[in-house]
Amino acid sequence: MASEEDSLASIPRLEFLGASHRPLLDLHPLRCANHKSSSADTPSANTPNAKTQTDQVGGDHTDRYATALRNNKEWAAQTAREYPDLFPTLATGQTPQILWIGCSDSRCPETTFLGLKPGDVFVHRNIANVLHPGDLSSAAAIEYAVQYLRVKHVVVCGHTACGGVAAAMGNKNLGILDPWLLPLRQLRERNLDLLQSLSPDEATMKLAELNVREGLNIVKQKGVVLNAIQERGLELHGLIYDVGSGVLSELDTQDSEEVIRARLTAFKTE
Protein backbone atom coordinates (compact mmCIF):
# COMPACT_ATOMS: atom_id res chain seq x y z
CA MET A 1 0.00 0.00 0.00
CA ALA A 2 1.08 3.58 -0.52
CA SER A 3 1.98 4.44 3.03
CA GLU A 4 2.69 8.05 2.13
CA GLU A 5 -0.78 8.34 0.65
CA ASP A 6 -2.29 6.70 3.73
CA SER A 7 -0.61 9.14 6.07
CA LEU A 8 -1.64 12.06 3.90
CA ALA A 9 -5.18 10.76 3.93
CA SER A 10 -5.38 10.46 7.67
CA ILE A 11 -3.20 12.93 9.54
CA PRO A 12 -4.01 16.13 7.62
CA ARG A 13 -7.71 15.46 7.96
CA LEU A 14 -7.30 15.26 11.70
CA GLU A 15 -5.39 18.51 11.65
CA PHE A 16 -8.20 19.92 9.58
CA LEU A 17 -10.41 19.39 12.59
CA GLY A 18 -8.09 21.41 14.79
CA ALA A 19 -8.04 25.00 15.97
CA SER A 20 -6.88 26.39 12.64
CA HIS A 21 -10.09 25.33 10.96
CA ARG A 22 -12.64 28.09 10.45
CA PRO A 23 -15.59 28.05 12.88
CA LEU A 24 -17.90 25.13 12.12
CA LEU A 25 -20.97 27.23 12.96
CA ASP A 26 -20.19 29.97 10.47
CA LEU A 27 -23.40 29.12 8.68
CA HIS A 28 -25.67 31.24 6.55
CA PRO A 29 -29.06 29.50 6.57
CA LEU A 30 -30.65 31.99 4.20
CA ARG A 31 -27.96 31.81 1.62
CA CYS A 32 -29.50 28.74 0.06
CA ALA A 33 -32.98 30.22 -0.09
CA ASN A 34 -31.69 33.52 -1.41
CA HIS A 35 -29.09 31.96 -3.60
CA LYS A 36 -29.17 33.91 -6.81
CA SER A 37 -30.79 32.12 -9.65
CA SER A 38 -28.59 31.69 -12.62
CA SER A 39 -28.21 29.47 -15.59
CA ALA A 40 -25.76 27.45 -13.52
CA ASP A 41 -28.60 26.53 -11.15
CA THR A 42 -30.92 25.36 -13.87
CA PRO A 43 -30.86 21.67 -14.70
CA SER A 44 -30.07 21.24 -18.31
CA ALA A 45 -30.32 18.20 -20.47
CA ASN A 46 -27.35 19.61 -22.31
CA THR A 47 -25.11 19.47 -19.26
CA PRO A 48 -22.38 17.08 -20.32
CA ASN A 49 -21.92 14.21 -17.91
CA ALA A 50 -18.20 14.56 -18.32
CA LYS A 51 -18.35 18.07 -16.90
CA THR A 52 -20.38 16.84 -13.92
CA GLN A 53 -17.93 14.03 -13.40
CA THR A 54 -15.02 16.44 -13.49
CA ASP A 55 -16.69 18.64 -10.91
CA GLN A 56 -17.16 15.68 -8.60
CA VAL A 57 -13.58 14.47 -8.70
CA GLY A 58 -11.23 15.90 -6.10
CA GLY A 59 -8.21 17.95 -7.06
CA ASP A 60 -9.74 20.92 -8.83
CA HIS A 61 -10.97 24.12 -7.25
CA THR A 62 -14.62 24.08 -8.31
CA ASP A 63 -16.91 25.36 -5.57
CA ARG A 64 -18.44 22.16 -4.22
CA TYR A 65 -21.49 23.82 -2.68
CA ALA A 66 -22.72 25.40 -5.89
CA THR A 67 -21.96 22.21 -7.77
CA ALA A 68 -23.78 20.16 -5.16
CA LEU A 69 -26.97 22.19 -5.45
CA ARG A 70 -26.87 21.88 -9.21
CA ASN A 71 -26.19 18.15 -8.95
CA ASN A 72 -29.12 17.71 -6.56
CA LYS A 73 -31.64 18.99 -9.05
CA GLU A 74 -30.29 16.73 -11.75
CA TRP A 75 -30.13 13.77 -9.36
CA ALA A 76 -33.71 14.27 -8.11
CA ALA A 77 -35.07 14.48 -11.65
CA GLN A 78 -33.10 11.49 -12.88
CA THR A 79 -33.97 9.37 -9.82
CA ALA A 80 -37.66 10.19 -10.22
CA ARG A 81 -37.47 9.06 -13.84
CA GLU A 82 -35.67 5.83 -13.01
CA TYR A 83 -37.70 4.99 -9.90
CA PRO A 84 -41.09 6.70 -10.24
CA ASP A 85 -42.42 5.18 -7.00
CA LEU A 86 -39.41 5.97 -4.84
CA PHE A 87 -40.04 9.54 -3.70
CA PRO A 88 -43.83 9.16 -3.30
CA THR A 89 -43.19 6.06 -1.18
CA LEU A 90 -40.49 7.74 0.90
CA ALA A 91 -42.81 10.66 1.51
CA THR A 92 -45.09 8.32 3.45
CA GLY A 93 -42.38 6.90 5.76
CA GLN A 94 -39.24 4.83 6.02
CA THR A 95 -38.65 1.10 6.39
CA PRO A 96 -34.85 0.69 6.28
CA GLN A 97 -33.48 -2.79 6.88
CA ILE A 98 -30.05 -1.60 7.96
CA LEU A 99 -28.80 0.54 10.83
CA TRP A 100 -25.36 1.79 9.84
CA ILE A 101 -22.92 3.07 12.46
CA GLY A 102 -19.88 4.51 10.72
CA CYS A 103 -17.30 7.28 10.63
CA SER A 104 -18.09 10.86 9.61
CA ASP A 105 -15.19 10.74 7.15
CA SER A 106 -16.19 12.26 3.79
CA ARG A 107 -14.76 9.22 2.03
CA CYS A 108 -17.27 6.88 3.68
CA PRO A 109 -20.72 7.62 2.20
CA GLU A 110 -22.40 4.34 3.10
CA THR A 111 -25.51 4.55 0.92
CA THR A 112 -23.33 5.34 -2.09
CA PHE A 113 -20.79 2.57 -1.66
CA LEU A 114 -23.46 0.05 -0.70
CA GLY A 115 -25.20 0.78 -4.00
CA LEU A 116 -28.45 1.52 -2.16
CA LYS A 117 -30.99 4.30 -2.31
CA PRO A 118 -32.61 6.79 0.05
CA GLY A 119 -34.74 4.92 2.55
CA ASP A 120 -32.49 1.85 2.66
CA VAL A 121 -30.09 2.78 5.48
CA PHE A 122 -30.70 4.44 8.84
CA VAL A 123 -27.42 6.12 9.70
CA HIS A 124 -25.45 7.24 12.72
CA ARG A 125 -21.98 8.57 11.94
CA ASN A 126 -19.43 10.28 14.14
CA ILE A 127 -15.69 10.81 14.23
CA ALA A 128 -13.99 7.40 14.17
CA ASN A 129 -17.30 5.55 14.67
CA VAL A 130 -16.84 5.61 18.42
CA LEU A 131 -19.65 4.32 20.60
CA HIS A 132 -19.63 5.72 24.12
CA PRO A 133 -21.97 3.72 26.38
CA GLY A 134 -23.55 6.92 27.74
CA ASP A 135 -23.76 8.81 24.45
CA LEU A 136 -27.38 9.93 24.03
CA SER A 137 -27.10 10.50 20.29
CA SER A 138 -25.93 7.03 19.30
CA ALA A 139 -28.11 5.38 21.96
CA ALA A 140 -31.21 7.12 20.61
CA ALA A 141 -30.35 6.17 17.02
CA ILE A 142 -29.83 2.54 17.98
CA GLU A 143 -32.98 2.29 20.06
CA TYR A 144 -35.13 4.01 17.45
CA ALA A 145 -33.77 1.88 14.62
CA VAL A 146 -34.06 -1.42 16.49
CA GLN A 147 -37.25 -0.94 18.48
CA TYR A 148 -39.36 1.22 16.18
CA LEU A 149 -37.98 0.84 12.67
CA ARG A 150 -37.26 -2.83 13.41
CA VAL A 151 -34.16 -2.98 11.23
CA LYS A 152 -32.89 -6.47 10.40
CA HIS A 153 -29.19 -5.64 10.48
CA VAL A 154 -26.97 -3.43 12.62
CA VAL A 155 -23.59 -2.63 11.08
CA VAL A 156 -20.61 -1.06 12.80
CA CYS A 157 -18.11 -0.02 10.14
CA GLY A 158 -14.58 1.29 10.54
CA HIS A 159 -12.30 2.23 7.68
CA THR A 160 -8.72 2.45 6.51
CA ALA A 161 -6.77 5.70 6.96
CA CYS A 162 -9.14 6.89 9.70
CA GLY A 163 -7.92 10.20 11.11
CA GLY A 164 -9.53 9.58 14.49
CA VAL A 165 -7.87 6.20 14.88
CA ALA A 166 -4.54 7.65 13.76
CA ALA A 167 -4.94 10.40 16.37
CA ALA A 168 -5.53 7.84 19.11
CA MET A 169 -2.33 6.10 18.02
CA GLY A 170 -0.47 9.38 18.48
CA ASN A 171 0.06 11.52 21.55
CA LYS A 172 -0.86 15.02 20.50
CA ASN A 173 -3.26 17.12 22.55
CA LEU A 174 -6.35 17.52 20.38
CA GLY A 175 -8.71 19.49 22.63
CA ILE A 176 -12.31 18.35 22.54
CA LEU A 177 -11.34 15.38 20.41
CA ASP A 178 -9.40 13.87 23.30
CA PRO A 179 -12.44 12.94 25.42
CA TRP A 180 -14.26 11.86 22.29
CA LEU A 181 -11.44 9.52 21.30
CA LEU A 182 -10.97 8.22 24.86
CA PRO A 183 -12.44 4.75 24.08
CA LEU A 184 -9.86 4.39 21.31
CA ARG A 185 -7.01 5.26 23.68
CA GLN A 186 -8.40 2.78 26.20
CA LEU A 187 -8.36 0.11 23.49
CA ARG A 188 -4.79 1.12 22.67
CA GLU A 189 -3.86 0.77 26.35
CA ARG A 190 -5.52 -2.64 26.71
CA ASN A 191 -3.88 -3.97 23.56
CA LEU A 192 -0.54 -2.22 23.86
CA ASP A 193 1.68 -5.29 23.44
CA LEU A 194 -0.19 -6.43 20.34
CA LEU A 195 -0.18 -2.98 18.75
CA GLN A 196 3.51 -2.40 19.50
CA SER A 197 4.36 -5.68 17.81
CA LEU A 198 2.95 -4.38 14.52
CA SER A 199 4.14 -1.81 12.00
CA PRO A 200 2.57 1.66 12.44
CA ASP A 201 0.18 1.11 9.52
CA GLU A 202 -0.78 -2.36 10.72
CA ALA A 203 -1.27 -1.09 14.26
CA THR A 204 -3.60 1.66 13.08
CA MET A 205 -5.64 -0.86 11.12
CA LYS A 206 -5.72 -3.23 14.08
CA LEU A 207 -6.99 -0.45 16.34
CA ALA A 208 -9.70 0.36 13.78
CA GLU A 209 -10.72 -3.30 13.87
CA LEU A 210 -10.68 -3.44 17.68
CA ASN A 211 -12.82 -0.31 17.70
CA VAL A 212 -15.42 -1.97 15.50
CA ARG A 213 -15.48 -5.01 17.76
CA GLU A 214 -15.81 -2.81 20.84
CA GLY A 215 -18.60 -0.86 19.17
CA LEU A 216 -20.48 -4.08 18.52
CA ASN A 217 -20.03 -5.05 22.16
CA ILE A 218 -21.56 -1.74 23.23
CA VAL A 219 -24.50 -2.30 20.86
CA LYS A 220 -25.01 -5.81 22.19
CA GLN A 221 -25.13 -4.58 25.77
CA LYS A 222 -28.37 -2.73 25.10
CA GLY A 223 -31.57 -4.42 26.23
CA VAL A 224 -33.53 -3.55 23.08
CA VAL A 225 -30.81 -5.13 20.95
CA LEU A 226 -30.62 -8.31 23.04
CA ASN A 227 -34.39 -8.62 22.85
CA ALA A 228 -34.40 -8.11 19.08
CA ILE A 229 -31.66 -10.72 18.61
CA GLN A 230 -33.61 -13.28 20.62
CA GLU A 231 -37.11 -12.45 19.46
CA ARG A 232 -36.72 -11.74 15.74
CA GLY A 233 -33.18 -12.66 14.73
CA LEU A 234 -31.63 -9.20 14.49
CA GLU A 235 -28.17 -9.61 12.97
CA LEU A 236 -25.05 -7.60 13.89
CA HIS A 237 -22.08 -7.14 11.60
CA GLY A 238 -18.60 -5.63 11.80
CA LEU A 239 -17.09 -4.21 8.62
CA ILE A 240 -13.97 -2.38 7.50
CA TYR A 241 -14.20 -0.10 4.47
CA ASP A 242 -11.10 0.44 2.37
CA VAL A 243 -11.14 4.08 1.25
CA GLY A 244 -8.41 3.28 -1.27
CA SER A 245 -10.43 0.67 -3.16
CA GLY A 246 -14.06 1.19 -2.15
CA VAL A 247 -14.28 -2.42 -0.96
CA LEU A 248 -15.83 -3.63 2.31
CA SER A 249 -14.38 -6.50 4.35
CA GLU A 250 -16.45 -8.39 6.87
CA LEU A 251 -14.96 -9.17 10.28
CA ASP A 252 -15.65 -12.46 12.00
CA THR A 253 -17.61 -11.24 15.00
CA GLN A 254 -19.16 -14.52 16.09
CA ASP A 255 -19.28 -14.76 19.89
CA SER A 256 -18.67 -17.98 21.82
CA GLU A 257 -21.52 -19.58 23.76
CA GLU A 258 -19.78 -18.55 26.98
CA VAL A 259 -19.57 -14.89 25.94
CA ILE A 260 -23.21 -14.86 24.88
CA ARG A 261 -24.34 -16.45 28.15
CA ALA A 262 -22.34 -13.97 30.24
CA ARG A 263 -23.69 -11.03 28.24
CA LEU A 264 -27.28 -12.15 28.59
CA THR A 265 -26.81 -12.71 32.32
CA ALA A 266 -25.33 -9.26 32.84
CA PHE A 267 -27.34 -7.12 30.42
CA LYS A 268 -30.70 -8.75 29.67
CA THR A 269 -33.51 -6.75 31.22
CA GLU A 270 -37.26 -7.31 31.44
Question: Minimal distance in Å, beta carbon 66 to Zn ion?
Answer: 27
String of b and e for 209-245 (b: at least 16 CB within 10 Å)? Answer: bbbbebbbbbbbebebbbbbbeeeebebbbbbbbbee
- Active site annotation includes 153: no
Specify the DSSP class assigned to residue 255.
Answer: P
Are 212 and 240 contacting, i.e. CB atoms less than 8 angstroms apart?
yes
Give the number of other Cβ atoms within 10 Å of residue 185's Cβ.
Answer: 16
- Active site annotation includes 132: no
> Active site residue: 103, 124, 157, 188, which one?
103
- Active site annotation includes 107: yes
Task: Put the strands of the sheet holding 153-159 in their side by side order.
Answer: 121-126, 98-103, 153-159, 235-242, 247-250
> Active site residue: 6, 108, 124, 162, which one?
162
Written as one letter, the residue type at 148 is: Y
Residues that contact Zn ion, how many (by CB under 5 A) = 3
Are 215 and 131 contacting, i.e. CB atoms less than 8 angstroms apart?
yes
Question: Minimal distance in Å, beta carbon 171 to Zn ion?
Answer: 19
Nearest to Zn ion of 6, 105 (CB atom)? 105
**Residue 252 assigned as binding residue:** no
> Active site residue: 107, 124, 157, 188, which one?
107
Are 43 and 70 contacting, i.e. CB atoms less than 8 angstroms apart?
yes
> What mask of x and - would describe binding to Zn ion in positions 2 to 31, judged by CB under 5 A?
------------------------------
89-108 residues near Zn ion, rule: CB under 5 A: 103, 105
- Active site annotation includes 32: no
Nearest to Zn ion of 105, 110 (CB atom)? 105
Q: Which stretch binds Zn ion (CB under 5 A): 12-20, 45-53, 158-166, 184-192?
A: 158-166
Nearest to Zn ion of 139, 184 (CB atom)? 184
Nearest to Zn ion of 118, 170 (CB atom)? 170
Q: Which long-range contacts (CB under 8 A, 24 or more apart) does 47-55 make?
A: 47/74
Instruction: Give the alpha-carbon dihedral of 104, 106, 108, 113, to 10 degrees.
Output: 140
- Active site annotation includes 162: yes
Binding site for Zn ion (CB under 5 A): 103, 105, 162
* Residue numbers belonging to the annotated binding site: 103, 105, 159, 162
Residue ranges of the annotated binding site for Zn(2+) are: 103, 105, 159, 162
Catalytic residues: 103, 105, 107, 159, 162
